[in-house]
Amino acid sequence: MPVFIGSLFGKNSVIRGIASYLGWMSDRQNDLSAALDSVTDPETGRGLVAAGRAQAPRLAEGIATVILDVTGIAAERRELIDIDIKRALKAVDGVEDVRVAMTSQKVKRRIIAVGSGKGGVGKSTLAANLAVALARRGMKTGLIDADIYGPSLPRLMDAEGRRPQANADKKLIPVATSYGVPLLSMGQLVEPGQAIAWRGPMAGNAMGQLVDADWGEIDTLVVDLPPGTGDVQLTMVQKYKPAGAVIVSTPQDLALIDARRAINLFEQSEVPIVGLVENMAGYRCPECGAVSDPFGEGGAEAAAKELGIDFLGRIPLEIAIRIASDDGVPPAASGEAGADAFNAIAGKLADWLNR
């Protein structure tokens, strides 16, 4: 056949024809790439090709095919990008139809559970400040308030009354907060003031909605568990296998069996304990700044040692911490009242996570 064509049209003209066809192909390829790159990646603000979201489109029989990595892009945005890509590529000569295949690398998300034996020991306060401090260290951190008995994180994070929307896949979209830490709370799922008295499966399902939400790029979730060892805690440890657990206790609580029960729950489920935090350890006088220790000093550290877990640090009982928390300004964000203690503990947690 080549000989026949060659003899009919002359060898040089065939080579020229092939070369010009190949040239047309590569021009077309460049046009396709440029068209695809004219669509902006919402994350980096660059073109989709430059941002590494997609390779050059393939064109076969008039159909341009694009394989797009949509990791971290919210579902609504994906639909808009799909429309933009189709519009841009259809404008290229020779393209009759466009197919966009979206792929997503599942972000490996790790959970840090914050637990305590009983309520009122400052578990939520610690969870909020740890999440804020981790985010300030550059970690993509989200916060879940799973405390069905007293969801207090919306207030602590200045997000009271804000309801999460659902995305096209019916997943909850966490509420953005002023502190760079998106938040979902059991308290956002029910009417304000409505008593939350969920039991068993209901609480477990609600927990699932919070964990399997549209967290996007978030890779570390700090979860404020209810106090004690009930259904939500069991669902958490069994179904969502936290990477680690931080236990909060007050000095007077340590002698009690509660904190040990919480520790046992995690140990039995093979959830590693990051360590113990002693909250309300010593009272810092707002007048003179001196710290007094009504319950003695060093008790928590000794108890941690006895329990065979690490001691992560102590946070003083300080009126300014309570006031800032009520105002929705976590000390770890403002750098005031107790910030140093929270930051030091967050540093240990970060080291533990990156170990």
Which residues bind to ligand ADP, rule: CB under 6 A? 116, 119-125, 150, 152, 279-280, 315, 317-318, 321-322, 325
Alpha-helical segments (H) within 173-289: 200-211, 231-239, 257-268
Task: Give strand pairing partners of 151.
Answer: none
The residues, any chain, with a CB within 8 Å of residue 32's CB and separated by 6 or more, are 56, 57, 59, 64, 89, 92, 95
- Over the range 204-217, which residues count as b (16 or more CB within 10 Å of their CB) and which as e? bebbebbbebbbbe
The residues, any chain, with a CB within 8 Å of residue 268's CB and separated by 6 or more, are none
User: How many Cβ atoms sit within 10 Å of the Cβ of residue 128?
Assistant: 31
CA distance 131 to 332: 9
Element (H, E) at 292: strand 291-292
CA distance 267 to 22: 65
Pairing type for strands 183-185 and 141-145 reads parallel
CA distance 230 to 116: 12
Task: Give strand pairing partners of 100.
Answer: 66
Q: Which is nearer to ligand ADP, 119 or 244 (CB)?
A: 119
Q: Which is nearer to ligand ADP, 66 or 332 (CB)?
A: 332
Shortest distance, position 329 Cβ to ligand ADP, whole Å: 11
Shortest distance, position 291 Cβ to ligand ADP, whole Å: 11
The residues, any chain, with a CB within 8 Å of residue 350's CB and separated by 6 or more, are 134, 137, 139
Shortest distance, position 333 Cβ to ligand ADP, whole Å: 15
Shortest distance, position 103 Cβ to ligand ADP, whole Å: 40
Residue least distant from ligand ADP (Cβ):
122
CA distance 154 to 184: 8
CA distance 266 to 245: 7
Shortest distance, position 241 Cβ to ligand ADP, whole Å: 23
Shortest distance, position 327 Cβ to ligand ADP, whole Å: 10
Q: Which is nearer to ligand ADP, 59 or 127 (CB)?
A: 127
Task: Give strand pairing partners of 321.
Answer: none
Q: Which is nearer to ligand ADP, 54 or 277 (CB)?
A: 277
Q: Which is nearer to ligand ADP, 57 or 226 (CB)?
A: 226
Q: Which is nearer to ligand ADP, 218 or 280 (CB)?
A: 280
Shortest distance, position 328 Cβ to ligand ADP, whole Å: 11
Q: Which is nearer to ligand ADP, 216 or 230 (CB)?
A: 230
Q: Which is nearer to ligand ADP, 88 or 114 (CB)?
A: 114
CA distance 284 to 318: 5
Shortest distance, position 109 Cβ to ligand ADP, whole Å: 23
Q: Which is nearer to ligand ADP, 152 or 188 (CB)?
A: 152
Shortest distance, position 280 Cβ to ligand ADP, whole Å: 5
The answer to whether residues 171 and 212 touch, using CB atoms and an 8 Å cutoff, is yes
